[in-house]
Structure 1
Amino acid sequence: MGAVRLGGVWQRRRGSRGGRPPVFAPVDYRGRNVVERRFNLFKQRRSLAPR
């Protein structure tokens, strides 16, 4: 059998970009941060956890 080539055309086409470009949306980040902080607060204070 011949040599098996790993990877595809898409890996060669990416070039210097290296993958998905970083996207930063401050408004979205702020919203996710607030939600994450609330969940962490609930985790730390078990008495506040919904039952």
Structure 2
Amino acid sequence: MWTDGQHEWRELSGRSRISTAAGTGHYVHVDRPDLAIKAIQRVTAQATPRW
């Protein structure tokens, strides 16, 4: 049920994605900061104008 809900949220945007971080707990940013950094960089790259 939880996974279905996540996929419903993802459908609200053409830019969203679902990532699964094996071996992590609830605090992914603590367990795998590299993944959190990459996700933030992806979002900011999409939001930054390319002039």
Q: Same fold (TM over 0.5)?
A: no
TM-score under structure 1 length normalisation: 0.37
TM-score under structure 2 length normalisation: 0.37
**Higher RCO (CA < 8 A, seq sep 6+):** 2
